[in-house]
Amino acid sequence: GAGVSQTPSNKVTEKGKYVELRCDPISGHTALYWYRQSLGQGPEFLIYFQGTGAADDSGLPNDRFFAVRPEGSVSTLKIQRTERGDSAVYLCASSLTGGQPQHFGDGTRLSIL
């Protein structure tokens, strides 16, 4: 079956621009997670959704970052006024419910010039 799908796979944009990163979880998975992985580092937790609601957004670094999951399936991570320090691979994962094993997508590599 289909795994977690993230689009685009690569995104290059200029400093100050707005970007949206999309995550399609495995069908039926109610929990969805976003992580940021900088070069040479492990994934850093950003936000966790259970259904449509953000159950834990304590990892969002500042108010330029926002994520939604309006119908409890697809999620979009939105970054406003991008900065060069936002350059990283953004990973999405889903699980059947919270606490079940996570399945990761291949990530979106974001480069801010």
Partner 1 sequence: AQSVTQLGSHVSVSEGALVLLRCNYSSSVPPYLFWYVQYPNQGLQLLLKYTSAATLVKGINGFEAEFKKSETSFHLTKPSAHMSDAAEYFCAVRITSGTYKYIFGTGTRLKVLA
Residues from 52 through 91 that contact partner 1 (CB under 8 A): 55-56, 58-59, 91
Burial of 97 (0-12, 13-18, 19+ CB in 10 A): exposed
Told to check if 45 binds partner 1 by CB under 8 A, we report yes
Asked if residues 9 and 90 have their Cβ atoms less than 8 Å apart, the reply is no
Contact residue for partner 1 among 19, 26, 48, 73 (CB under 8 A): 48
Rounded distance, CA 25 to CA 82, Å?
25
Told to check if 106 binds partner 1 by CB under 8 A, we report yes
Rounded distance, CA 111 to CA 91, Å?
14
Residues in touch with partner 1 (CB under 8 A): 4, 31, 33, 35, 40-45, 48, 50, 55-56, 58-59, 91, 93, 95, 98-99, 101-102, 104-107
